Amino acid sequence: MDLFLFLRRIVHWLVTILIGLYIFTGLGITNFQVIEAVTFGQVSKLGAYQVHTFLLYPFIVVLGLHIAFALIQNRQKRNINVA
């Protein structure tokens, strides 16, 4: 497996995990009673808000990498088809 494919898969899974966490913490902010019950009180409304706010910056970076890898792969495919 080449390095590009390996990094692309890592970034793909990071985007998936971050989106899941973003949704979970968003629910923790809006429906905090349900999330507190599901997590047995481990995630409070304030904790969900703090994590949700912090996740914005890593999410933007990983999403940018995800888009860059998609554009690079698309360009590589077009160069292979032209040659």
> For the chain, how many structural domains are there in total?
1
- Cα–Cα distance, 31 to 44 (Å, whole number): 10
Across 22-30, average pLDDT? 94
Whole-structure pTM value: 0.82
Confidence of residue 13 (pLDDT cuts 50, 70, 90): very high
Over 80: is that where the pLDDT of 80 sits?
Answer: no
The predicted pLDDT at position 1 comes to 58
Give the domain extent around 26. Answer: 3-82
pLDDT at 81: 64
Coil, helix or strand for 83?
coil
Cα maximum dimension of the chain? 59
pLDDT-above-70 percentage for the chain: 94
